Amino acid sequence: MRTCNQSLLQNHVGRMGDEFLFHLESRDQLELHRMFNHLSSIPNALNEFYHQFSKHVMRVELFATSSLVNGTADSSTAKAYIKELLEIHAYYDTLIKTAFASDAKFLRCFDEWFVQFVNKNGVCQQKPDKSAMLLAAHADSLLRESIHTQEIELADKLAGVMTIFQYLMDKETFHIAYSKRMADRLLKGRSLSVQAEKLMIGGLHEAGGFEHTRKLETMLEDTKISSALNVGFQCWLRESGWLRVGAGVSFQVLRAWSWPLAIDPSSSGTSFIPPKSIVNAHSRFDKFYKSKHVGRELRWMWHLCNGELKANFDSSPRVPYVFRVSAYQMSILLLFNSHATISYDSIQQNTGLGEEHLQQYLSVFLYAGLLNISPDTSHPVSGTQFALNLNFSSPKIKVNLLRNGGAERERKNIEEIRAEQERQHCLEV
């Protein structure tokens, strides 16, 4: 009689397994909860449900992967990609809590599957670290200053970042990519706020410990110290009678071991000659800093420096154009204050820039219409001549030449080389 009852129970559970899978597919949580309660008190009766649940999430993986790879979820953007992952996680997290009373085996089954899905879905087939890179990009977009960012919602959004972070297999790649993006935000003054940065660092500290966050904390501390240094520098200038020197500049003093900053690979063999207009400010700050910190040496990273130049043209509006440029670009443009026409070779001699930099930035100026080249159809090479385009016009008063036109692909290539070097040669204490 007992064997007969066991056989009947197995047949009953088997039929319920098919029914259970049907309700999983139709997302009927009330019916799933009823079935779970019905069998949860019977030893081993839920095994069939666990099996069916595993089959179900595998089907979800096929559907979600197809959605991400084929572009129906707009997988080209980090925001859309992370949103897709979070929606899947949120649904099953709620399902297991409400329908299955947070049953440990259901939780384990889902966690094991979701780890594989996050790290090995179709988007990651070509680049195994793709999820880590996209998550870092998404976190950066949340923490970057924007008129669309509402800090009141930030905690919830960063909690979503940490939800996906805990499932990453390649956390080291995330840390490297995130620290590089954080450095970019801080150096360019584009961070949403100090509190927002601390909130993210706190989440990473809780998830991974002090080892992965101490450099991030140091970076944040360096920006605070640099702000105080710049205030002190301006006071020192006034006291020294050099008020006009350096009034429009600011400096960032960074501890080398904590910032993911590599020497520009394309500047090898280049001896950059800074423009005279910033040399004075540069030397004054160097003197000021060494008076405060005896024995310390400053290493100037010109490839990270940028600023703004005001320019008046015959065709310009009443308000002068303002060009956002790098220090390298600035060294080229300022030569036209004293020369109507300058040769390629003369520009190279006066700036000390290597071939790659010089050709890249001259291409940017030509594409923007800021310079004219002679002969007209030539490219920036030795023997060509350049003149300022006095008929320059732009719909914008502020013109960003840091990222522009024909040299954009070259710039991206340089950044990719630099990123790879940073990953290979990341400094440790």
**DSSP one-letter string for 17-85:** HHHHHHHHHHT-HHHHHHHHHHHTTSTTTTHHHHHHHHHHHHHHHHHHHHHHHTTTT-TTSHHHHHHHH
pLDDT digits (tens, 9 = 90+) for 365-390: 999 999 999 998 778 999 999 999 98
Task: Please name which of 422, 209, 138, 141 lies closest in space to residue 217, comparing C-alpha atoms.
Answer: 209
The rounded Cα 105 to chain-centroid distance in angstroms is: 37
Task: Please name which of 229, 244, 232, 307 lies closest in space to residue 275, comparing C-alpha atoms.
Answer: 307
What distances in angstroms separate CA 364 from CA 337, 356, 407, one per listed residue?
A: 19, 13, 6
Q: What is the mean pLDDT of residues 307-319?
A: 74
pLDDT digits (tens, 9 = 90+) for 66-119: 556 555 444 458 888 899 899 999 999 999 999 999 999 999 999 999 999 999
325 phi and psi, to 5 degrees? -135, 160
Task: Please name which of 222, 169, 179, 225 lies closest in space to residue 200, comparing C-alpha atoms.
Answer: 179
Range name among 181-190, 285-294, 298-307, 401-410 with the lowest pLDDT average: 401-410
Q: What does the alpha-carbon distance between residue 147 and residue 144 come to, in Å, rounded to a whole number?
A: 10
Higher pLDDT, 3 or 192: 192
Rounded mean pLDDT of the chain? 81
Yes or no: say if 372 and 341 are a contact pair by the CB < 8 Å rule: no
For residue 9, the model assigns a pLDDT of 46
What distances in angstroms separate CA 389 from CA 166, 272, 313, one per listed residue?
A: 54, 25, 8
pLDDT digits (tens, 9 = 90+) for 15-38: 677 888 888 888 888 988 998 888
Omega of the bond leading into 375 within 30 degrees of 0 (cis):
yes
Q: Is the pLDDT of residue 413 over 50?
A: no
